Chain A
Amino acid sequence: MIELVSVTKVYGEGPSSVRALDAVNLKLQAGEMTAVMGPSGSGKTTLLNIIGCLDSATEGEYYLDGKNVAGFDLKAKAQLRNEAFGFVFQSFNLLPDKTVLDNVMLPLRYSRVPRRQWKQKAAVALEKMGLADLAQRRPDQLSGGQQQRVAIARALVNDPQVILADEPTGNLDSSTGREIVEVLKSLAEERGKVVVVVTHDGMVASHAKRLLQMVDGRIIDDSTLDSSSVVFSHPNPSGVIW
């Protein structure tokens, strides 16, 4: 479904340039939750941004459902971000002056979905996250876990094929973080989404079906995990013990 072929991302020019991704090859399949781990600066978020069309590769090919995304223009990429991808961020990124319902409706404002369906679609997404009762609250009236669920509802409102989560549990306590990971896992396993989670947290990674280990812009390890796998958190640069 997603295929990166020798994708390289270089920031800056000349001797001070930084190679954030170095000839990365990767295939991601539907129904698969993939965790990406690695030390800070290893290129995890850059990889996520390129997959999510927030950033462009300097070199290489990026195929989504067989189409080369690298050649897409600004509008087409914006449409992809809106319809094909759902983003979940570490700090939730909810609009504080809007209600939960308005926050979930936000991607619909930029979509081709008719306005009359916005509320209904947002309400369904909130229902699935168990937040129907909180639709009229503002984000600061919710707990961290609830806010992240709202963010996931917002990511799902356009029914995207791919969910990209960048440190989704980074601002949550461990039990709430576990709940969020369970939600993400169910999206992959029950609803057939491609879920990519960038994390430093071994607990999060151990719920994934697949674990990518990155160092210096390269994927140094690509493993399939089973239910008994235990992933330890960094700073061990060699990554994973199970």
Chain B
Amino acid sequence: MKPLYRVLLIIGIAMGVVATSLIFGVGQTLLMHVQAGRITDQLTYSIYQSGGDGWVTGMSLTLAREVQGWLPEGSTASVVSFEQHDAAVQIGPEYYGASVVGVDASFASVYGLEVLEGRFFSPEEQRAQRRVCAVTGDLAALFGWEALADLRINGIEYEVVGAVQGDVNPAFLTLGGYSASTVFVPVELWYEDLNEGNFEHGLIMQLVVDAPGWSRAELSGLLSQNLIHREDAPVLKVGDPNEQGSREWMETLLVLTAVFLIAFIVFLLAGLNIIQIASADVWDQQRVFGLKVALGALPKHLAREIIGQIASCALQGGYLGVVLAGVVNTAMNRLVGMYWASFNIFTVLAGIILALLVGWITAVVPARQAAQIDPVAVLQQER
């Protein structure tokens, strides 16, 4: 095979692998979306303070409590502070990089978090300002309950009363989410032990509300009625996590569709490129194949040689493609909000196997062409 054909073939196969990894990435994202959609079946609203232009500014705890007082009867709500990452969380003798979030006792039920062990702290404990907390399941699994009996935040001892589900898909939350390694403490103590105890500091990210029978518009109206008489009324907004997620998802879906289409076209072009180059190679080597037939080669011998050559290119193209796919998918993971593609040893193996498979399939056409070469005709062309 000519060196130029070989290089083009390797590039073509690498393009095919990259395109396929993107197609798989889109598929994985869709699958994750469908699976994640099953987690949250409860409609919660998020009340947050808007700083304009889509920015979110923190509410003070005082304001959050005031807003909680306006909520309709039968509703449940919990404040959620910003995630504090710089707190010194000590479990036994070890420090661990867990974040600390201040919430109300109703947080787990409003958020729909599954309690994995023990319980979430109670309203009574919160009112009594007992230093109790709940951790995400990964911390419980990592350290074990015995070690968690000795948990300190900034040197202050907290009693761990339970572990809750950690992997909450951020796509369904209005503002942020908790993936893992989080300690939930009563919000007042969070202010006191970690933030100088000043409840006027705007550190509340959102107020999550479960208001059965209330629409988002009705809740917004309720907030407006209460804010209208205030001179320095903050801009409070009501977000519907599912609605918010849907909007973000629609935007992502557009990007994913574009990525899918481009990847699919690249995949087709790569496939055609491979077939064309391999066919061109057969055409260029007609006399060689004719000679081989004259010397006793059967179609299967020629097919084996062609497939071997293409497989060798496919292997190299596969390696190159896997590396490029790693770069492209990493960029996509960072740039496209909800795009999700895992990249591990299985992805690498799948990429190489795919390249070999594509190589093998696309070698069939040129192998057939080679098998149909008439040695008499091609060897007479020398005359």
**Within 8 Å of chain B (Cβ to Cβ): is A87?**
yes
Q: Which of A17-58 contact B (CB under 8 A)?
A: 45, 49, 52, 54-55
**Within 8 Å of chain A (Cβ to Cβ): is B292?**
yes
Q: Is the CB of A81 within 8 A of B295?
A: yes
Q: Is the CB of B301 within 8 A of A110?
A: yes
**A90 to B288 CA separation, bound complex (whole angstroms):** 15
Chain B contact-residue range equals 10 to 19
Question: Interface with A: B126-134, B164-172, B373-381, which one?
Answer: B373-381
Max count, chain A CB within 10 A of own CB: residue among B295, B301, B375: B295
Q: Is the CB of B296 within 8 A of A110?
A: yes
How would residues 80 to 105 of chain A score, 1 for a CB under 8 Å from any chain B CB and 0 otherwise? 01110001011101010000000000
Max count, chain A CB within 10 A of own CB: residue among B287, B291, B380: B291
How would residues 117 to 136 of chain A score, 1 for a CB under 8 Å from any chain B CB and 0 otherwise? 00000000000000000000
**A45 to B383 CA separation, bound complex (whole angstroms):** 11
Q: Is the CB of B380 within 8 A of A45?
A: yes
Q: Select which of B288, B295, B299, B375 is within 8 A of A107 by beta carbon.
A: B295
Contacts of A95 in B (CB 8 A): 288, 291
Q: Is the CB of B291 within 8 A of A82?
A: no
Contacts of B293 in A (CB 8 A): 54, 78, 81
Q: Is the CB of B375 within 8 A of A111?
A: no
Write the chain A residue with the least CB distance to B291: A93
**Within 8 Å of chain A (Cβ to Cβ): is B272?**
no
Q: Is the CB of A106 within 8 A of B292?
A: yes
Q: Give B320 Cβ to nearest chain A Cβ, in Å.
A: 24
Known interface pairs A54-B375, A95-B288; A81-B382 also in contact (CB < 8 Å)? no
How would residues 280 to 296 of chain B score, 1 for a CB under 8 Å from any chain A CB and 0 otherwise? 00000001100111111
**Within 8 Å of chain B (Cβ to Cβ): is A109?**
yes
**Within 8 Å of chain B (Cβ to Cβ): is A176?**
no
Max count, chain A CB within 10 A of own CB: residue among B287, B296, B299: B296
Q: Which of B345-383 contact A (CB under 8 A)?
A: 375-376, 379-380, 382-383
Q: Give A162 Cβ to nearest chain B Cβ, in Å.
A: 13
Write the chain B residue with the least CB distance to A170: B383
**A90 to B296 CA separation, bound complex (whole angstroms):** 19
Q: Select which of B296, B380, B383 is within 8 A of A111 by beta carbon.
A: B296
Q: Is the CB of A78 within 8 A of B297?
A: yes
Q: Is the CB of A90 within 8 A of B301?
A: no
Contacts of A78 in B (CB 8 A): 293, 296-298
**A83 to B295 CA separation, bound complex (whole angstroms):** 9
Q: Select which of B287, B301, B383 is within 8 A of A93 by beta carbon.
A: B287
Max count, chain B CB within 10 A of own CB: residue among A55, A106, A109, A110: A110
**Within 8 Å of chain B (Cβ to Cβ): is A75?**
yes
Report the count of interface residues on A (CB-CB < 8 A).
Answer: 24
Contacts of B291 in A (CB 8 A): 93, 95
**A150 to B291 CA separation, bound complex (whole angstroms):** 15
Contacts of B383 in A (CB 8 A): 90
Contacts of A107 in B (CB 8 A): 295-296
Contacts of A87 in B (CB 8 A): 294-295
Contacts of A75 in B (CB 8 A): 298
Q: Is the CB of A81 within 8 A of B294?
A: yes
**A3 to B119 CA separation, bound complex (whole angstroms):** 99
Q: Is the CB of B296 within 8 A of A83?
A: yes
Q: Is the CB of A91 within 8 A of B382?
A: yes
**A4 to B299 CA separation, bound complex (whole angstroms):** 28
**Within 8 Å of chain B (Cβ to Cβ): is A241?**
no
Q: Select which of B288, B297, B379, B380 is within 8 A of A110 by beta carbon.
A: B297
Q: Is the CB of B296 within 8 A of A81?
A: yes
Q: Is the CB of A110 within 8 A of B376?
A: no
Q: Is the CB of A110 within 8 A of B382?
A: no
Q: Is the CB of A89 within 8 A of B296?
A: no
Known interface pairs A89-B382, A106-B292; A49-B297 also in contact (CB < 8 Å)? no
Q: Is the CB of A82 within 8 A of B379?
A: no
Q: Give B306 Cβ to nearest chain A Cβ, in Å.
A: 14
**A74 to B288 CA separation, bound complex (whole angstroms):** 19
Contacts of B287 in A (CB 8 A): 93
**Within 8 Å of chain B (Cβ to Cβ): is A146?**
no
**A87 to B296 CA separation, bound complex (whole angstroms):** 11
How would residues 127 to 156 of chain A score, 1 for a CB under 8 Å from any chain B CB and 0 otherwise? 000000000000000000000000000100
**Within 8 Å of chain B (Cβ to Cβ): is A79?**
yes
For the complex of A and B, 9 pairs with smallest distance between CB atoms: A82-B296, A110-B296, A107-B295, A91-B382, A81-B296, A110-B297, A93-B291, A78-B298, A78-B296
Q: Told that A52-B294, A106-B295 touch, could you supply 16 new A-B pairs with CB distance under 8 A?
A: A45-B380, A54-B294, A54-B379, A55-B376, A74-B298, A78-B298, A81-B296, A83-B296, A87-B294, A87-B295, A91-B382, A95-B291, A107-B295, A107-B296, A109-B297, A111-B296
Interface residues of B (CB under 8 A from A): 287-288, 291-299, 301, 375-376, 379-380, 382-383
* 23 intermolecular pairs with C-beta atoms under 8 Å apart: A45-B380, A52-B294, A54-B294, A54-B376, A75-B298, A78-B293, A78-B298, A79-B296, A81-B295, A82-B296, A83-B296, A87-B295, A89-B379, A90-B382, A93-B379, A95-B288, A95-B291, A107-B295, A107-B296, A109-B297, A110-B292, A110-B298, A111-B296
